[in-house]
Every structure is written in C-alpha cells, then in structure tokens.
Amino acid sequence: MAPTLRHDWTREEVAALFALPFNDLLARAHAVHAEHHDANAVQVSTLLSIKTGGCPEDCAYCPQAQRYQTGVKAEKLMSVEAVLQRARAAKAAGASRFCMGAAWRAPKDRDVVKVAKIIEAVKGLGLETCATLGMLNEDQANQLKDAGLDYYNHNLDTAPEYYDAIIGTRQYQDRLDTLDAVRGAGMKTCCGGIVGLGETREQRVGLLQTLATLAEHPESVPINQLVQVAGTPLHGTDKLDPFEFVRTIAVARLLMPASMVRLSAGREQMSDEMQALCFFAGANSIFYGEKLLTTGNPDVERDRALFDRLDLKPMRVEHEPGTVHADIVEPACPAHAESAA
C-alpha cells in the first residue's frame, strides 16, 4: 500500500520532534524507517566532479567558489570517455547510481548539450544517473531528462531565513524555481541541505520543514554535515554536536518516510558509531568512494568493514527489478581504485 505522506508539517510540529528525548526520537524514526524500507539495505552512489572549481558563486561553505583561496584548481568539463572510465569503475565497485557534479552557477545551453552526451553514455552502462549542475531552466531540464537523467540534485541547503547569511549571489526562490523545472521535466529530485553552518536548531527545523512541505517530497534527501575547508568563510565554525546531527537524520526520516535519506558529505569526520546511529535513525543512502567532489570520503575498506559489522547490504537498482546487484567489491582494476571512489 502506498504510504500516506504529509505535506503540511508545521514548524511547531517539526520542532517538537527535534525536542523529543533522544531515545524516543530514534525509536520513532526507526519504526517509520522499517515500515517503509528495508532497514538493512543502503543505496550506494558514487560521486564524480565532472567540472571542478572556478565557480562564480559565493556559497560560504564551498571550496569550489573561485573567490576563496582553497587550493582547488579549476578544471574544464571532462570528456565523455574520461567520465565513462570512472563510471565503469564505479559500477564495478558496486555503485548503483553515478552522480556527476559541476561547479556552475547555471550551465550554459552549450554545456547542457555536452552533459547530455555524458549522461547518455553513463546511462548506457546500466547505472542510474544523477547530476548537479546548478540552476536550470525548463528547456535545459527537458534536455537532460531526454538524455536519460534520472535524478537532479539541487539542495535548499538551509532554512529560508538563514540563506542570505550563507549565499549572496542567488535567492532561495531561484532554488525553488529550479526544483520546479526539474519536476516539470519529469525527473526525480535529490534535494537536501547542510548542517553545521552555524545555524540554530530552529533553522534546522526550517530547512526540514521546507523540504517536507514541497508539493512532492524529494525522492532523495541528502543531509550533508559541513566539511570545513580552509579558505572558505565557514572554516572554523563551531562543530555541531554529533547527536544533533543524528536527530536531524531522524526528523528527516519522520517527515519524509518514503524518501531515501542520504548520509552525505561529512562522513569521513564521523565515527563508525555515529554512522551506525544515523543508519538506525533512518539514513539509507551514502556516497561510496574515497572522494566526494573535492574533499574526502571514507576509504572503501572502512565502508566495506562498516557494512559487514552492521550487516548492511547495498540496495539493488530500483528501476531494474530482478537484477542482482553486486556487493560492494574491490574495484576491478587497481588503476581505477581512486576513481571507483
């Protein structure tokens, strides 16, 4: 039976969930998680930066903004063949979804034509495809959909009232408009945010309440913990209490029961025990491989061991019922070990 999803959460209700005693919150979140998902299966995506750095935006957390001295070297859009090589390695290493990120404010139309060719090629390998390229208009969203793009990642990042403190070069409404264009084109959305930006709990409530009151819940909800990078304005921000991060995952699970909640950036800095709590609280998706876009992610050996210790299994590809998905395995070729990541 299709789950009944609510889209009318109030901030008061969301704040009340956050304020539950920790054990009660986790018990409730886990019950909802197990009701809607296999609690021992985790969807595994691999991330690749197909166009790195040199971004004109001023997102205060981002190492790829040109204006901050972070040591990230700007690189041009990768060729189809170079991306395919990485996608093959990711598939061999057990990923079911290949996510491609580009450090653009918004792609130019000619960029979309090039990325569409990349998407067609990656899709041809039998992987689910996801891209995050910045703001899109309707035509661009339609072109990407036609090329075979399954998911578009575009995060709200934080609460509407805190957005201006983090990003000055665009508006919250721009983000919502892009999400509308993506939905209008018939793609699935991957939309979440970052915590640890120096926001208050009330603002974490605001982020999750905004996500959960979108006309449709995002199919995938990445919850990133800020990866602090020297040179960005947010470097040196007070760290969030790990239990507050776990609460954020649990509340996301309660508000959006059918969505995949991704334990996204920041895992490298988390203990295995903290990640285990996140999986219990309802996280059921990760990025697998030693690199995110420009920053680190846990070693594949550490993740394999964690899956073993927690009896977790990689989730099968959703759109190919009946396919037996490979376990997380060693990359096929040692030369690709880094790229499989």
Task: Please identify which residue in the block is written with the tokens 């880094």.
Answer: 338
Residue nearer to ligand SF4 on the CB measure, 17 or 60: 60
Residue 28 in contact with ligand SAM, rule: CB under 6 A: no
At its nearest, how many Å lie between ligand SF4 and the CB of residue 324? Answer: 36
Q: Which does 52 bind (CB under 5 to 8 A by kind): ligand SF4, ligand SAM, ligand DTB, none?
A: none
- For position 134 contacting ligand DTB by CB under 6 A, the verdict is no
The b/e string for 151-174 (b: 16+ C-beta within 10 A; e otherwise) is bbbbbbbbbbebbeebbeebebeb
Name the residue among 250, 251, 240, 167 with its Cα closest to residue 209: 251
The encoded tokens of residue 331 equal 């990359």
The span from the CA of 29 to the CA of 147, in Å, is 37
Read off the tokens for 78: 């990768």
**Is residue 331 part of the contact set for ligand DTB (CB under 6 A)?**
no
Among this protein's residues, is 99 annotated catalytic? yes
Residue 154 contacts which entry, ligand SF4, ligand SAM, ligand DTB, none (Cβ below 5-8 A, type-dependent): ligand SAM
Please say whether the beta carbons of 289 and 46 come within 8 A. yes
Helix ranges (H only) for the chain are 11-18, 22-36, 80-92, 109-123, 138-146, 163-166, 172-184, 201-212, 242-255, 272-281, 300-310
294 contacts which partner out of ligand DTB, ligand SAM, ligand SF4, none, CB within 5 to 8 A by kind?
Answer: ligand DTB
Secondary structure of residue 287 in the 3-state scheme: strand
Span interacting with ligand SF4, options 17-25, 55-63, 195-203, 216-224, rule CB under 6 A: 55-63
Could you say which of 62, 86, 97, 267 is catalytic?
A: 62
Binding mask 142-181 for ligand DTB (x = CB under 6 A): -----------x-x--------------------------
Closest CA to 332 of 169, 94, 148: 94
Indicate which residue of 28, 88, 190, 267 is catalytic.
Answer: 190
Contact set with ligand SF4 (CB under 6 A): 55, 57, 59, 62, 64-65, 103, 105, 134
Residues annotated as catalytic are 55, 59, 62, 99, 130, 190, 262
